[in-house]
Structure 1
Amino acid sequence: MTARDLDALALERRVEALLAPFGTPGSPGCTIGVVRDGALVLHRSAGLANIEHGVPINATTTFRIASVTKQFTCAAALLLAEDGALSPEDDVAALIPEFPDLGARITLDHLMRNTSGIRDMLELLRFGGLDLAMPCSEAGLLAAICRQRSLNFAPGSRFLYSNAAFFLLGLAVERAAGVPLGAFLEKRIFAPLGMTRTRLTPRTTEVVPGLATGYLPAAGGYARAAHGFALGGEGGLVSCVEDLALWARNYETGRVGGPALVAALQHRMPFTNGALNLYARGLEAGEHRGVATIGHGGLWPGYKTAFLRAPAERIAVIVITNHGGADPGAIALQALDAALAGTPRLAPEPPLPPRHALEAMAGRWIAEDDTASFDLALRPDGVPEVRSHGMPFALAPLADGALTARRGVFCFTLRQVADGLEVEEDAERRRLYRRAPDSAELPGDLSGRYACAELDVEWEIDAAHQVTVRGPHAVAGPWRLEAIAPERFRLHIPGALADTWAELRRRPDGSIEANGARARGLIFARRG
């Protein structure tokens, strides 16, 4: 065997080892593809596409790839810009007249870069009791967005992930093109590239050939993942490894859109304060062990995807799973390590701080300047894990001793300082966190009704501090309130995808300010 043959064999065995946990009988599965120099050099799968019928994942199995859709929606908008049908600098309201005046000019480019400040529609509906497992139409999603009268921040000043932004972008593409988004993508991208198993599926009830069933871990095994929201430019694609490999090659060949489209998708812009945004257009730039990367993840109940490229190395890794408990992002990085093994381009991974130092950081931390808080703990394997708004993410070491989030599109780099923990967020902004008090109590006069006009939602807090939610789509609860500091609380919100929490603060006028991970500054006025 030649050295290249041996390298290929080593990569194959490493990928098979990554897939081994999915080979347990009765387990959902995972599929991994490695693209090198524009060719799919390795494609392996393990586990079941459908547990009930014992159907294994194979080369033709398709999956919901969720937010990996976003780069395709951006590509569609950029192709229309080349056609002269729109411009990235167009005001959103010019193409979507029903979009409200939020006191600032918001462009299509703000949508593509997650700098619009528009609150995330999924979180808006969650605050109103509507979980992803429940049905919600495109009209319902648009209505939730259009009820807003304020923003998370001034457009262009910050980064915050927003599914609403890409939902609107998909709608703008449809109106500029005069055809449904799926039809435009098929004609201009999928058909020319030979992506025959990729399609937009606006309705989750649609029958899709070869589609794997999504599963979530449950007591004693797995449960089918329920999801009922309409899907569009933010996450509606179904695809597979082979088709995404064809798309990865397009970043090198420019067959669709030419070099201009490839460059435009990967182009990064600074915030208004001059700091460079890590998010390009439907893609997130990063670095792994000294290697520049760009890509995106996808998450939908029962489905997870990682689409990761190392452009200078001409390597792409694609990981898709129908196992809701898997971590395809971590798998993709390990597969990238294997693909680059033995090369000087891959720097050594910095070690974690000593365990005693990590244990000293464990606990609950709260920011002094707003409602933000997080919990930090060590996993059984010794890796530090943060839980923010209920969502867990592992921390990885940096060369300077800091710890940074492994979770995609989430800006969180933690450093110890004399007064507590400092967290660097988007736009290079830093926030100081101090330890939460050892104990806190919910105030006795908190019970009552609170209404938010921007959500058309009422929260009723009873004497036992349980919250009943009445919104335009659902009645939900009871939800649990937890005190974390004087006049500061967490509202725990159960969901099909995950149990999350909103950060609440009671204001001097008796109203409650609610902040989620992607929807901030919502005011619930007291009604009685």
Structure 2
Amino acid sequence: MKQVFSKYTRLLAAGFVLPMTACAQGDLDSAAIDNVFADFNAETPGCALGVVQSGQLVYGRGYGMANLEHGLPINTASIFRIGSVSKQFAAAVAALAAMEGYLDLEDPLQKWIPELPDYGEPLTLRHTLNHTSGLRDYITLMSLKGLRGDDFYTVDELIEVQALQEELNFTSGSEYLYSNSGYVLLTEAVARAVDKPFKDYAEEVLFRPLQMSHSHFHDDHNHIVALRADGYSPRGDRFRTNMTTLDMIGDGGVYTSIDDMVHWVTALEQDGIRSGLTPILETKGILNSGEEISYALGQSHGEHRGLATIGHGGSWVGFRADVLRFPSQSTSIVTLCNRSDAGPSGRAIQVADIVLAEHLAPLSEGPSLEAEDSRERAERSEVSDPNSYLGTYYSPELEVNYEFTNTDGSLVVHMGPNAESELQRISGDTLAAGSRTFRFSRDGGEVTGFELDAGRVVHLRFIRLN
């Protein structure tokens, strides 16, 4: 194993420690910043905030409680699950494995995950990193199989379901569509290439060199995490714990703190992990057509009031997170929360407006909600002839049956024992239940099956059995 050793890790090894406060803190409008989080208190979960400028934590504070049962307040040492913010860490580890010669980001994914079908076109590790793979999202697939959000399944079972998929959402590289599957399969590919668990490799090449001593990929839900904040969701005027037993990592799964994230955003700013790594991570994806997309490797490029941004949000069970960097100002806003309604991205923008007020362009009036709502939408109507669709339909890609019944004159689809929805007509044989679209096909006038579109999964095939 080659060691990852850089200008940044040499500073750390020499005893350089990033300060937890800085003299610049007095220059910030702390009252205005605190007001952004004024709705969090000693009776609610909340967020931890870190404002990092030129390698210093110039403002760090906790708002609300890390644990309601034991009355533990949030602070900059509290450990949060950060959802999809984890993707930038997974991307960095994969890129380091490529720099170490274990794999190539242009390798076909099937080279390392041979269980997957050959879809006829190249599907590379880079495609998974840019969300241009076309892989159907496993979270959606498992939901379509009838699993509930708190049901348990393993990475091996996830791969089995992924291997059943007879086609991709689209030809790899032709479009952008967010897919958590790509990142889970990526981490499995890296683990097989380096011949050790991804969590251990990430500790060796990333977290330990950066002295992120309270950060890790959480691949065992029974693993005890000191200083961990519990995740919560509101229920009426109270809160309930909202955690997960799933052990997938890559798409999510990192636990970290504000104190540790100071090291991370500073290393990205200074290209201090391994020379040349930050440019790799920040290179935007390019479609087969040559079109450049805003998504890079686990990070997305954007703009706020005239300043370029790089960042990513995270959302999983009762946790929410956001990392928003302003490279030209050497400023990062890190917001880690343990309540599902926290809205960290909006709060990060508000903090940025305070911290960078002198550098931002004047506020421009965004599109109104009225303009948003005026977009043409397909009107839905009642399915007046439900009997032609009744029966059992089977999906070989999910290995499940969907049952369509006439319930009090309405067409209802039963998607496993835990879910049923009433269908409405969009047009002809195109029906919808919530956000799911069912496109039925006929032969000689008889319905023979349908294709299902459900956001991050499209063209899922069902065959009529009776």
Please confirm whether the aligned pair reaches a TM-score higher than 0.5, indicating the same fold: yes
Q: Secondary structure at the match of 1:20?
A: coil
Question: 1:522 pairs with 449, 460, 465, which one?
Answer: 460
Gaps of 5+ in 1: 364-420, 422-433, 493-500
Q: Do the aligned partners of 1:63 and 1:238 also contact (CA within 8 Å) in 2?
A: yes
1:22 paired to 2:22: no
C-alpha distance in 2 between matches for 1:230 and 1:485: 41
State the secondary structure of the residue aligned to 2:358: coil
How far is the alpha carbon of 1:40 from its aligned partner? 1.1
Matched, 1:82 2:16: no
Q: Identify the residue that residue 315 of structure 1 maps to in structure 2.
A: 331
1:232 aligns with 2:170: no
* Partner deviation per Cα, 1:319-355 (whole Å, 9 max, x = no partner): 0111101111111111111111123xx11222145x6
Give, in whole Å, the separation in 2 of the partners of 1:155 and 1:293.
27
Amino acid at match of 1:441: V
AA aligned opposite 2:157: G
Counterpart position of 2:183: 166
| 1:88-103 to 2 correspondences below 5 Å | 88-103=105-120
CA displacement at 1:485 relative to structure 2: 4.2
For residue 362 of structure 1, the aligned residue among 352, 373, 396 is 373
Distance 1:212 1:487, change over 3 A: same
Q: 1:165 and 1:196 mapped to 2: Cα distance?
A: 27
Residue identity opposite 2:69 in structure 1: E
Q: Show the counterpart of 1:154.
A: 171
Instruction: Give CA deviations for 1:230-274 in whole Å, capped at 9, x if unaligned.
Output: 22111111111111111000012223212x101100011321222
Residues 217-256 of structure 1 aligned to structure 2 (within 5 Å): 217-256=234-273
Question: Which residue is 1:412 aligned to?
Answer: none
Pairwise CA distance, 1:360: 6.6
Q: Tell me what 2:437 maps to.
A: 503
Q: What amino acid is aligned across from residue 73 of structure 2 in structure 1?
A: P
Change in Cα spacing, 1:361 to 1:69, as seen in structure 2 (3 Å) is closer
Distance of aligned partners of 1:10 and 1:85 in 2 relative to their CA distance in 1, 3 Å threshold: closer
Residue pair 1:15, 1:32 contacting (<8 A) in 2 also:
no
Residue 436 of structure 1 aligns with which residue?
Answer: 378
| Number of the residue aligned with 1:12 | 30
Contact 1:90 1:108 in 2 (8 A): yes
The aligned length equals 437
Q: Which residue of 1 aligns with 2:3?
A: none
Helix, strand or coil at the partner of 1:506: strand
Work out the CA distance in 1 between the residues paired with 2:372 and 2:351: 31
Alignment RMSD (CA, Å) = 2.0
How far 1:478 sits from its partner (Å)?
2.8
CA distance in 2, matches of 1:317, 1:117: 32
Secondary structure of 1:32 counterpart: strand
- Tell me, yes or no, if the aligned pair for 2:108 and 2:125 is still in contact at 8 Å: yes
Q: Which has the higher contact order (CA 8 A, sep 6+)?
A: 2
Report the equivalent of 2:432: 490
- Mapped partners of 1:437, 1:106: distance in 2: 37
Instruction: Give the number of the structure whose residues are more often strand, by fraction.
Output: 1
Match of 1:481 in 2: 423
Q: Name the CA distance, whole Å, in 2 between partners of 1:359 and 1:115.
A: 32
Q: What are the superposed Cα offsets for residues 101-121 of structure 1, whole Å, 9 maximum, x if unpaired?
A: 122211111111111111111
Alignment partner, residue 295 of structure 1: 311
Q: Contact conserved, 2:311 with 2:325, CA < 8 A, in 1?
A: yes
Judging changes above 3 Å, is the alpha-carbon distance between structure 1 residues 54 and 228 closer, same or farther for their aligned structure 2 residues? same
Aligned partner letter, 1:291: L
Contact 2:136 2:457 in 1 (8 A): yes
Describe the shift of the 1:79–1:7 C-alpha distance in structure 2 as closer, same or farther (beyond 3 A): closer
In 2: Cα distance, 1:482 partner to 1:244 partner: 47
TM-score of the pair, normalised by structure 2: 0.89
1:486 Cα deviation from its structure 2 partner: 4.1
CA contact (8 A) 1:215 1:302 kept: yes
Amino acid at match of 1:462: T
Counterpart mapping for 1:40-59 below 5 A: 40-59=57-76
Name 2:195's counterpart in structure 1. Answer: 178
Q: In structure 2, which of residues 214, 228, 237 is the aligned counterpart of residue 211 of structure 1?
A: 228
Contact 1:61/1:240 (<8 A) preserved = yes
SS in 2 for 1:169: helix
SS at match of 2:418: strand
Cα distance in 2, alignment partners of residues 461 and 206 from structure 1: 42
1:451 and 1:527 in contact (8 A); partners too: yes
Contact 1:217 1:324 in 2 (8 A): yes
- Aligned pairs (5 A) from 1:320-359: 320-343=336-359, 346-352=360-366, 358-359=369-370
Q: Which whole-Å CA distance do the structure 2 matches of 1:50 and 1:129 have between them? A: 32
Contact 2:230 2:243 in 1 (8 A): no
Cα distance in 2 for partners of 1:73, 1:6 equals 32
Q: Can you list the C-alpha shifts for 1:427-456, whole angstroms capped at 9, x where unaligned?
A: xxxxxxx34337443532222111111111
Q: Is the 8 A contact 1:304 1:324 kept in 2?
A: yes
Deviations 1:155-185 (A, max 9, x none): 1111011111000110011011111111111
Match of 1:448 in 2: 391
Partners of 1:443 and 1:349 in 2: how far apart?
A: 52
Contact 1:132/1:228, CA 8 A, preserved across alignment? no
Query: Identity, % of aligned pairs?
Result: 33
1:460 maps onto 2:403 in alignment: yes
In the alignment, the residues of structure 2 paired with residue 134 and residue 442 of structure 1 have an alpha-carbon distance, to the nearest angstrom, of 36
SS in 2 for 1:185: helix
Q: CA deviation at 1:7?
A: 8.0
For 2:58 and 2:396, how far apart are their aligned partners in 1?
54
1:301 and 1:277 mapped to 2: Cα distance? 28
Runs (4+) of structure 1 moved beyond 6 Å? 4-7
From the superposition, tell whether residues 287 and 96 of structure 1 become closer, same or farther in structure 2 (CA, over 3 Å). Answer: same
Instruction: Give the one of 144, 152, 157 matched to 1:127.
Output: 144
Change (3 A) 1:64 1:261: same
Please give the secondary structure, in 1, of the residue aligned with 2:284.
coil
Query: SS of the residue aligned with 1:33?
Result: strand
In structure 2, relative to structure 1, the CA distance for the partners of 1:361 and 1:335 (3 Å cut) is closer
For residues 224 and 253 of structure 1, do their structure 2 counterparts lie closer, same or farther at Cα, with a shift above 3 Å needed?
same
Task: Give 1:446's aligned amino acid.
Answer: Y
**Cα displacement string for residues 353-402 of structure 1 (whole angstroms, at most 9, x for unaligned residues):** 5x6xx547637xxxxxxxxxxxxxxxxxxxxxxxxxxxxxxxxxxxxxxx
| 1:414 equivalent in structure 2 | none
Paired residue type of 2:415: V
TM-score (normalised: structure 1): 0.79
Is the contact between residue 50 and residue 76 of structure 2 (CA under 8 Å) also seen in structure 1? Answer: no
What is the SS of the residue equivalent to 2:50? Answer: strand
The 3-state SS of whatever aligns with 1:171 is helix
Instruction: Provide the secondary structure at the position in 2 that maps to 1:106.
Output: coil
